[in-house]
Amino acid sequence: MTTTIALAGKGGVGKTTIAALVIKYLMESQPGAILAIDADPSSNLNIVLGVELEWTVGDIREDLLKQVQESLTAGGAAMGTLSGGMNKHDYLDYEIRSSVAESDRFDLVAMGRSEGPGCYCAVNHNLRSVIDAMSKNYRYVVVDNEAGMEHLSRRTTRDVEALLVVTNPSQRGITAAERIGGFRDELDIHIENTYLVLNGLRGDTIPQPLQERIDGLDFPLLGTIPYDEALLEYEFSGQSLVGLGDDSAVYQAAATLFRQIL
């Protein structure tokens, strides 16, 4: 059985950092292979995971549409095939699996850039089918989403066991978290549990105005992760957070949270 963990939050709140810490925790404490899906168009999960990314699903999608347009005049695309007789689904399946960045315990696929002008309905249907099929081969799937979670909704039909809504200690961050929580039930997927993660907290106490906003959410606070300047050194040097020491206060706090939901 595959367990899917998704992360969402406003840009700049440390969502991708938390996604990397989830993957590190799974690698160290849980058996089975892990698929990381970078569904944020900025595609920087590979940097914090320390793997090279050659191309994205967005690149593959646009190349497919180009081929469809070129083949349409010949009648191939209209019948669901490309030049050479390959159908769209098989083309996407081959190209996406070829784009996977591999590591010892996890693989990474990046969704990449947003859709441009044109009709994407048929392509999105095939993308969803391919990614769902891939996911079945992994024990865990970790999805780093953009704030609106559009990729999550359009790219998979897989249920999500835990949605981690990440915020920093700011009114803007908690407002974005509130909006994400508000439309999570409108997605075409089932989310079993939703939790708030407060990242980058300085000190041991949540400021009272922020605590009041958190108390007003319809999903619980899972816990807090402290601010740590050492993470900035990792970011500036391009080091993988998978190599972050287990004695790090940030990792210890994150691991405590993840144990509660796994």
In a domain, 89, yes or no: no
Task: Give the model's pLDDT for residue 206.
Answer: 95
CA distance linking residue 148 with residue 143, whole number of Å: 13
In a domain, 70, yes or no: no
CATH number at residue 19: 3.40.50.300
Q: Are 35 and 106 in contact (CB under 8 A)?
A: yes
| H-only helix segments in the chain | 15-29, 45-49, 57-72, 88-99, 121-135, 150-155, 171-183, 208-215, 230-237, 249-261
What does the block give as tokens for 122? 């048929």
* Adjacent-strand bridge partners of 38: 110, 144
| Confidence class for position 112, pLDDT limits 50, 70, 90 | confident
The reply to whether the predicted model has a pTM over 0.85 is yes
Q: Is the pLDDT of residue 155 over 60?
A: no
The parent domain of residue 21 ranges over: 3-51+104-115+138-261
In a domain, 71, yes or no: no
What does the block give as tokens for 31? 């058996």
Task: Give the model's pLDDT for residue 18.
Answer: 96
User: How remote is the C-alpha of 149 from its chain's centroid?
Assistant: 9
Task: Give the model's pLDDT for residue 168.
Answer: 96
List, for residues 180-227, the tens digit of each pLDDT value: 998 888 877 889 999 999 999 999 899 999 999 999 999 999 999 999
Q: Are 232 and 46 in contact (CB under 8 A)?
A: no
Q: Is the pLDDT of residue 37 over 80?
A: yes
CA distance linking residue 181 with residue 184, whole number of Å: 5
* Adjacent-strand bridge partners of 36: 108, 142
In a domain, 240, yes or no: yes
In a domain, 248, yes or no: yes
Our count of domains for the chain comes to: 1
* Adjacent-strand bridge partners of 76: none
List, for residues 56-90, the tens digit of each pLDDT value: 888 888 888 787 777 666 555 554 566 666 788 88
Measured between alpha carbons, how far is residue 31 from residues 67, 80, 103, 106, 234 in Å?
A: 41, 40, 15, 11, 27
Q: Is the pLDDT of residue 132 over 90?
A: no
In a domain, 72, yes or no: no
Task: Give the model's pLDDT for residue 223.
Answer: 98
Kindly report the backbone phi and psi dihedral angles of residue 197, in degrees, each rounded to the nearest multiple of 5, phi listed first: -120, 120
In a domain, 133, yes or no: no
In a domain, 37, yes or no: yes
